A and B are shown apart, each in its own frame.
Chain A
Amino acid sequence: MTDLTKLTIAEARDGLKNKDYTSQELTEGFLKNIEAANSSLNAYVAVTADKARDMAKASDAKLAAGNAGALEGIPLGIKDLFATEGVHTQACSHILDGFKPAYESTVTANLWADGAVMLGKLNMDEFAMGSSNETSYYGDVINPWRKNGSNQDLVPGGSSGGSATAVAARMCMGATATDTGGSIRQPAAFTGTVGIKPTYGRCSRWGTVAFASSLDQAGPIAHTVRDSAILLKSMASVDPKDTTSVDIEVPDYEAAIGKSIKGLKIGIPAEYRLEGMPGEIEDLWQKGIAWLKDAGAEIVDITMPHTKYALPAYYIVAPAEASSNLARYDGVRYGLRVPGNDIVEMYENTRAEGFGEEVKRRVLIGTYVLSAGYYDAYYLKAQKVRTLIKRDFDLAWANGVDAILTPATPSAAFGVADQDLHSDPVKMYLNDIFTVTVNMAGLPGIAVPAGLDKDGLPLGLQLIGKPFDESTLFQVGQVIEDAAGSFEPEKWWG
């Protein structure tokens, strides 16, 4: 029998409808893979095997009765940032020890309503703060990819490192993820998977642990462009419980796949060509340009002069919002409490022990830039720069550009505990240099695997789209996928 865990969501959807196999068989296959791989890769922080089996059984009944949902019987992994009723939900932080919400996030509720099966909760950087999945209280996630002939452990990227690893190592068919500065697209690029951050307001933020509320968006990580379109269709919705959810009907993203890109105008922004960027990244970019040109797209050079200011502005806006959002973790209502002589000392002890180093760093930066006398110099200025970053994009759209092509990351996956990156927090932050502009402007962005570097590690290209024009990203992304092929790590684990 074929290995069911090697199927795409689109294939499994058809196979389940044809009764070629059951969701229970599919689910058992993934539970087996998780059991074999998790001690090596650490992608899951909680496996909900009983729940998965129950959900698969219910899906099989629905499939038999002919009233299957769009994702009926498809086994998924859920990032630990999404509230899942009665199930481990801790944003991979010590401060949320034991937290099991009495409610379900809108995104996951949408998935279950469409018939998806939950395999468990996925590892991530603590509170989604990190680019290597090394800030989790539950330990590092290991990338299933290794350099040719090497057994060095590499990071899967972050913060959705567990999601990316679980998909790449066939520990789920697809995964939910979130992206505040690149946390879907960078790990997707590092693991040879597809990840899309939709337009701000497309997926409800209700029930998703907040990091930086004006930037956070949920999206899927999957094996193919089509699978990511299928997942996003189910995750996205208009939600009265989130005031920033936008009242636009969710289109059928899959319908865009396979459509010709002839005549589409693809912008190439000169400012994404960084000094000291590896030649392989530039080569990959040129390859992507050639593929799109061959498929009939018109390639135009564009200029986005404020690109380099997106990352510094982000490191004011995101920590400022985080310091406010994380004020709720005080040892009173949920999670960890560390006693003190009075209530203030209890707060201080709880937060000192409950938060990891990166989270503390960002809360302190955020508290500082919002403190009396500094608000105008930092936060207000950063929000003005943000207006200029968005204006760069608006000008491109006004000039008829349909989508923008850039590299997804400035490098391939790097080693776990990399000395150079850990000696200076800013160096780690530079991982998000190509992705963070998209969050600052609230736009959709997709990372699609486009090739392997000289060491055999995956590299990705990013497409940036107009607000609520995810369809064009799937349409163009499919052209890249068709030209580049797909990439599977050589199995060394479990």
Chain B
Amino acid sequence: MSVDTDTVKRVAHLARIKVSNEDATRMTGELNAILGFVEQLDEVNIDGVEPMTSVVEQTMKKRADGVKDGNKADDITLNAPVSEDNFFMVPKVVE
């Protein structure tokens, strides 16, 4: 399978990365080189093979559903590019 420039632009939009036409053209070649490389996997017989979900056989650990940490709004917004009163500020989303 290979991708064309329009697909690269669509995927870049899905990934929320702005690309110029020039970027998209260059990336198309690079992405196709990688997709061509992974095509080798078609040689492998995977009939009846379970996909790996965890390298270590361990039951998912669970903890009691209780509050153990919190009240750290200052810490959480500490690194925000723009914040006000412990809210993250973003461009207007709702008209």
Contact = CB atoms under 8 A, between A and B. Distances in A.
B11 A371 contact: yes
B40 A309 contact: yes
Given A371-B11, A378-B38, A390-B55, A365 B46 contact: no
A467 B56 contact: yes
Interface residues of A, number: 75
Chain A interface helix/strand/loop/mixed: helix
B55 A442 contact: yes
A442 B82 CA distance: 40
Query: For chain B, which range describes its interface: under 10, 10 to 19, 20 to 34, or 35 or more residues?
Result: 35 or more
Contacts of A348: 13, 16-18
Contacts of B39: 312
A57 interface: no
A431 interface: no
Interface string B59-70: 011010000000
Interface string A398-435: 00000000000000000000000000111001000000
Contacts of A316: 38, 41
A386 B90 contact: no
Contacts of B16: 327, 330, 344, 347-348, 351
Interface string B33-69: 1110111110110100111111110101101000000
Interface string A240-267: 1001101100000000000000000000
Given A243-B61, A351-B16, A361-B31, A337 B81 contact: yes
B41 to A, nearest CB: 5
A438 to B, nearest CB: 10
Contact of A102 (B19, B54, B78, B91): B78
A384 B55 contact: no
Interface of A: 98-103, 199-201, 214, 240, 243-244, 246-247, 306, 308-309, 312-313, 315-316, 323, 327, 330-337, 339-349, 351-352, 355, 360-361, 363-365, 367-368, 371, 374, 377-378, 380-388, 390, 424-426, 429, 440-442, 467
Interface of B: 1, 3, 7-8, 11-19, 27, 30-31, 33-35, 37-41, 43-44, 46, 49-56, 58, 60-61, 63, 72, 75-82, 88, 90-93
